[in-house]
Structure 1
Amino acid sequence: MKIGWGKEIKQGKTLSDNQIVSLLLKKRGVKNPVEFLNPVHPKQIRLKDFSPFYEKKLQFCFKLLEEIKEKGEMIIVYSDYDADGITGAAILWETLHFLGFNVMPYVPHRKHEGYGFSKKGIDAIKKQYDPRLMISVDHGITAAEKITYAKKLGISVIVTDHHLKPDMLPKDAFAVFHIPQLSGSAVAYFFAKEIFIRFYKKDSLSHKMLETYFQTDYLALATIGTIADMVPLIGPSRNIAWHGLQAFPFVKRYGLKHILREAGIAGRKITPYEIGFMIAPRINAVGRLEHAMDALRLLCTTQEKKAYELASHIGNTNRERQDLVEQSLKEAKKMVESIGKIIPKLIILVSDHWNEGIIGLVASKITEQYGRPTIVMTQVDGFFKGSARSIPSFHITDFLRDQKKYLVDVGGHKQAAGFTIENARVKEFIKVAQKKADKLISKKDLERKIDVDFKLPLSRLSVSLVEKIQTLEPFGVGNPRPVFYSEGTLVDAKIIGKMKNHLKLFVADLDKKRLPMEFVAFSSADQFFSLKKGEKMKLRYTVEVSTWQDKTSITGKIIHFDQLGEKV
């Protein structure tokens, strides 16, 4: 994979700390630095701020909810089975429950019902609950046909979603709240907050508890959903994540407590890393391999023993998921290697036995390794289910929608999508899709680019600069951690890590005016024996401040390094 520079970089040698931070904000398109660095609390954000039409829609919804509450009719919160959907369902279901509504959550089984509304799911709900209303969480915008079906059965549907709009919107929905710049859980958060404000009673203890939850528990849950779904951390999603991460220490619910315990991060400061790599995968694992209702039960239970048991079970399920991904990924890599030297610009891999719940993870890892959009398909109940992941320059959902004549259904985002296809159409679809992708994707699109923000001598780095950079947190999609480029001299190196697969490098500035700085290069131990003390190196890296035994220091995390061989 070719390494490119990415965007134009700045020379940071002569700039002050504040100038560097100011340029980083400008590069990220921040027009209001004060608001970015001190985001408004989500409690001050209303649905009408996203669209002036939502105020009128809300009034219709409130009227329907008042009627439902008065008659004691049933409401179903129908969510997606991933971390974004489950956290959103917890927020909305609890809000309606504590406000005195007759409400039940419903999470479809991935294998038996599939994503979103299905006739099978709607029929089951009608038979068991006969509800007046269903409210979607993290799905529904592409389900026009299913919503019409529900309406014919006498069930009204309110859609809360953030996925890309299809050509045909659900015209038979009672109301649609579609906010693409938020996660599904965040849309549910703001919708639930509007319901809470409308039905709030000052003399109710449960209502007062809800008021606290919207500033702590629900904000933390919406943050999990936002980061898990890789929503850009800009605009209102930054407001959610910035305040939500700060809310974690105040969350007392047993479910989150025991997820943190099981993940081995209890007591640790929660950052996007802990959510993206420790918390969300555990919530997602249940929906991938079993029934995600257990994840929802875990988040909502008021019994600590139950929370302990469910968290332990979910941890075991996550380990099973990791094993399945590892096995399937080995097979997938062999398939790619068997293609030959010229790998297609769009990789498509097909199996008749991979678990449907993990094909998206396999696609993601293949895309990461080979730098190409990847579609992974597996056979499920007479059809093939597909999951796709893409590179930044290639809109995979739009691409798949252009091939919709081959597909039963399709939905997703710019860099991730899912679809269903009939067995008989798979071969033709692969042929056509790869041919079209070959024309649409350029060689430049396939170059791996490292977007370096500043070129700095190592001696320019300081604790004060890094601490100022950390005011831009939380970092993530849409607000990446700043990347620096420096040249230096290798002083020492050693292999580290439980599996002995990482490197720790000690690199001095070229002028050797300061002590060597520590860098960690993950999964790079295979380069250890080619390293030579005293040789010149080029580093692209991120920086963090860490404190150990009252000593504060800077650590660099290497993204890529070049050995120049020459000694300085």
Structure 2
Amino acid sequence: MNKIWQVRDKKYNDVIKQLLYNRGISVDNKSVGDFLDPDFDRDFHDPELLPDFGVAIKRICQAIKSKEKIGIFADYDADGIPGAALLYKTLKVLGCQPVVYIPTRSGGYGFNKSGIDYLISAGGKLIISVDLGIREFELSEYIKKKGCDLIITDHHEPAENPPAGGPKALAVINSKTKFSKYPFRELCGAGVVFKIVQGLSKYYPKIIDERFLKWNLDLVAISTISDVVPLIDENRIIAKFGLKVLRKTKNIGLQKLYSQAKILAEKIDAYTVGFQIGPRINAPGRIDHATGSFEILITDDKKVAENLATHLDEQNQIRQDQMEKIFSEAVKEIEKNDLIKNKIIILFNKHWQKGVIGPVANRIVEKYMRPTILFTSEKSDLSGSARSISGFNIIEALENCKKYLTSFGGHTGAAGVHLKEKNFQKFSENIISFANKNISDELLLAKIMIDLVLDPKRISIGQFKNLEKLEPFGLGNPRPVFLTENLELISHRTVGKENKHLQLRFKYGKSWLKGVIFNHDLDLQLITIGNRYDVVYVPKVNFWNGAHYIDLQIIDIKKHEK
């Protein structure tokens, strides 16, 4: 698939300043210094600026003093689970015996009566939600009628016009609520819990001290990176310091997870968290039940941790196998029925696992550059997961077809959908018609955003090593993407398992560069040694055999036009 290269406007000769400018970060000396070298003590915002924060802290302190049972109702993903583990560990060191409930995916996202009843029957007089609750109107009322206080901690978007002003809770801590004065909107669920822990440190400074806060940043970093929130502002502090803690973690469960997954602790970065640690925390919740993911993060028993790490690894392998199977089946169906003739792809298979159709939909979007909704059976209904392309708001599309839906929700790029099977055909026809009318041909073209054109003379180990100051990379601070033009190809060969990757070497000046295109789809007959090429890549420096060397992660390549 031909990709459009879009080079950002050049403003600065200094590479770091240009990259920060591209990311919308001020390039005055103070802002640059604050971004490159965040300070744990200085740069966190005052948690008391969060809505309802004082009320929530006062009620938690009262529960601790009275030795009340506190219930924790958490989401089942890699944001909710570490957040629940952090809250659980905090309440434990403060003398509480918290009761935790994590729903199954089959039971659906959010509160459910059985979970609420479980926490209350266990003696809970106060329930604290983690990573959910902002749209729980009916069940928050149910909790209130049961005589139990509710503190909602969440980071999802509130309803625009919530009934009766919102959920019936003693406190709703969410920086995205209408009247919030908190300076940063993009904390993840565990990030909100961390602010509560910071607030409690004011009342229990000898127990919740700086050491406690820092050593538990491993949990918050897993959530922050896994939930793909922008790694700027407070999230950058959490991720940067949290990665340091993850490399030296004292968490027994994480140590055993590293061992099982063959993760080298000293080399953990945002990629490791996002693609190795986070998926293992997520996997049980996608396949069965997330209890094991929670337990591994709180246990001090090495044998228990070892068994749980094995379980998580097995569940992750099942998840991967299911994803590959569904992806293969979906691609076969798309190709067989020429579904890319439309500007949105809709597929249904009753045998597909509900917990993994979202990530598979994302892969289909990447392959075909079309919004995609995959459906599977859920009791008498169909449950779907939607992913979109940049420039097409999937929520608006679903809103246009809502008469065929029982429910939907999400944001511009991703959504969950539910409908009756009898409405599937009509829904498909209507959303395909909407997409065909509202998606331009240009939107369907894959685009590569290029940070800057780098002259071959400026390529050096020092130049690329300097980019490490910008880490950790993620949403809001992506890895730099460079374009270097007019490089002479001196060799190429396929490498890796099943020869899926293409390694290329280019001459520049008196030296040469090596790069790899992972999972390449190039026609090798069009790649000619001696020709000159323009190369788009992520700059990387690796260390091997006692020396550093440049290794480009090539995104795209085109023949140089004189």
Normalising by the residue count of structure 1, what TM-score does the alignment of the two structures yield? 0.90
* Correspondence 1:367-378 to 2 at 5 A: 367-378=365-376
Whole-angstrom CA distance in 2 between matches of 1:237 and 1:45 = 9
CA deviations 1:451-487 (Å, max 9, x no partner) are 1111123232011211222211111111111111122
| SS of structure 2 residue aligned to 1:260 | helix
CA 1:158–1:404: 2 relative to 1, 3 Å: farther
Deviation larger for 480-489 or 291-300: 480-489
Instruction: Find the partner of 1:521 among 510, 517, 520.
Output: 517
**What displacement does 1:119 show?**
2.5
Whole-angstrom CA distance in 2 between matches of 1:340 and 1:559 = 27
Equivalent residue number for residue 283 of structure 1: 281
Deviation larger for 244-253 or 90-99: 244-253
Structure 1 residue 117 and structure 2 residue 115: aligned? Answer: no
Structure 1 residue 547 and structure 2 residue 533: aligned? Answer: no
Count of matched residue positions in the alignment of Structure 1 and Structure 2:
545
| SS of structure 1 residue aligned to 2:268 | coil
Structure 1 residue 187 and structure 2 residue 192: aligned? Answer: yes
CA 1:402–1:251: 2 relative to 1, 3 Å: farther
On the 8 A contact 1:406/1:429 being kept in 2, the answer is yes
Deviation larger for 444-453 or 427-436: 427-436
CA 1:53–1:91: 2 relative to 1, 3 Å: closer
Equivalent residue number for residue 455 of structure 2: 457
**What is the letter of the counterpart of residue 530 of structure 2?**
G
Instruction: Find the partner of 2:81 among 80, 86, 95.
Output: 86
Deviation larger for 401-410 or 332-341: 401-410
| SS of structure 1 residue aligned to 2:214 | coil
**What displacement does 1:42 show?**
6.8
Equivalent residue number for residue 182 of structure 2: none
Deviation larger for 63-72 or 368-377: 63-72
On the 8 A contact 2:136/2:167 being kept in 1, the answer is no
Equivalent residue number for residue 331 of structure 1: 329
Whole-angstrom CA distance in 1 between matches of 2:318 and 2:145 = 41
Whole-angstrom CA distance in 1 between matches of 2:4 and 2:505 = 25
CA 1:561–1:53: 2 relative to 1, 3 Å: closer
On the 8 A contact 2:503/2:514 being kept in 1, the answer is yes
Whole-angstrom CA distance in 2 between matches of 1:407 and 1:134 = 32
On the 8 A contact 1:494/1:528 being kept in 2, the answer is no
On the 8 A contact 2:133/2:153 being kept in 1, the answer is yes
Structure 1 residue 178 and structure 2 residue 174: aligned? Answer: yes
Structure 1 residue 143 and structure 2 residue 136: aligned? Answer: yes
Deviation larger for 462-471 or 281-290: 462-471
| Aligned-residue identity in percent | 36
Whole-angstrom CA distance in 2 between matches of 1:404 and 1:182 = 30
CA 1:341–1:374: 2 relative to 1, 3 Å: closer
**What is the letter of the counterpart of residue 188 of structure 1?**
V
**What displacement does 1:531 show?**
2.6
Instruction: Find the partner of 1:382 among 377, 380, 383.
Output: 380
| SS of structure 2 residue aligned to 1:518 | strand
CA 1:404–1:45: 2 relative to 1, 3 Å: farther
**What displacement does 1:242 show?**
1.4
CA deviations 1:396-419 (Å, max 9, x no partner) are 345435544443333333322223
On the 8 A contact 1:11/1:456 being kept in 2, the answer is no
Equivalent residue number for residue 503 of structure 2: 504
CA 1:436–1:146: 2 relative to 1, 3 Å: farther
**What is the letter of the counterpart of residue 546 of structure 1?**
N
| SS of structure 2 residue aligned to 1:376 | strand
On the 8 A contact 1:9/1:452 being kept in 2, the answer is no
On the 8 A contact 1:43/1:215 being kept in 2, the answer is no
| SS of structure 2 residue aligned to 1:82 | coil
Deviation larger for 61-70 or 464-473: 61-70
Equivalent residue number for residue 3 of structure 2: 3
CA deviations 1:78-133 (Å, max 9, x no partner) are 1111111111111111111211123111100111x21111223223333x324212
Equivalent residue number for residue 229 of structure 1: 227
**What displacement does 1:74 show?**
1.9
Equivalent residue number for residue 180 of structure 2: none
**What is the letter of the counterpart of residue 93 of structure 2?**
F
**What is the letter of the counterpart of residue 142 of structure 2?**
Y
Whole-angstrom CA distance in 2 between matches of 1:294 and 1:401 = 37
Question: RMSD of the TM alignment (CA)?
Answer: 2.3
* Correspondence 1:404-443 to 2 at 5 A: 404-443=402-441
**What displacement does 1:291 show?**
0.7
Which segments of 5 or more consecutive residues in structure 2 lack a partner in the other structure? 176-184
Whole-angstrom CA distance in 2 between matches of 1:44 and 1:97 = 28
CA 1:157–1:47: 2 relative to 1, 3 Å: farther
On the 8 A contact 2:397/2:434 being kept in 1, the answer is no
CA deviations 1:496-535 (Å, max 9, x no partner) are 11332111110113xxx22110001111276445432111
CA deviations 1:136-186 (Å, max 9, x no partner) are 111111222221122122222211111122231633121111134111111
* Correspondence 1:20-169 to 2 at 5 A: 20-31=15-26, 32-41=31-40, 45-48=44-47, 52=49, 54=51, 57-111=52-106, 113-126=107-120, 128-167=121-160, 168=162
Whole-angstrom CA distance in 1 between matches of 2:397 and 2:148 = 34
On the 8 A contact 2:385/2:415 being kept in 1, the answer is yes
Whole-angstrom CA distance in 1 between matches of 2:348 and 2:464 = 46
Deviation larger for 183-192 or 399-408: 399-408
CA 1:165–1:79: 2 relative to 1, 3 Å: same
On the 8 A contact 1:336/1:343 being kept in 2, the answer is no
**What displacement does 1:60 show?**
1.7
Deviation larger for 165-174 or 140-149: 165-174
* Correspondence 1:258-277 to 2 at 5 A: 258-277=256-275
CA 1:404–1:119: 2 relative to 1, 3 Å: farther
Whole-angstrom CA distance in 1 between matches of 2:528 and 2:96 = 69
Whole-angstrom CA distance in 2 between matches of 1:135 and 1:366 = 37
**What is the letter of the counterpart of residue 182 of structure 1?**
L
**What displacement does 1:448 show?**
1.1
Whole-angstrom CA distance in 2 between matches of 1:356 and 1:376 = 9
Equivalent residue number for residue 308 of structure 1: 306
Deviation larger for 513-522 or 164-173: 164-173
On the 8 A contact 2:84/2:130 being kept in 1, the answer is yes
On the 8 A contact 1:253/1:299 being kept in 2, the answer is yes
Whole-angstrom CA distance in 1 between matches of 2:50 and 2:531 = 63
Structure 1 residue 537 and structure 2 residue 542: aligned? Answer: no
Equivalent residue number for residue 297 of structure 1: 295
**What displacement does 1:449 show?**
1.0
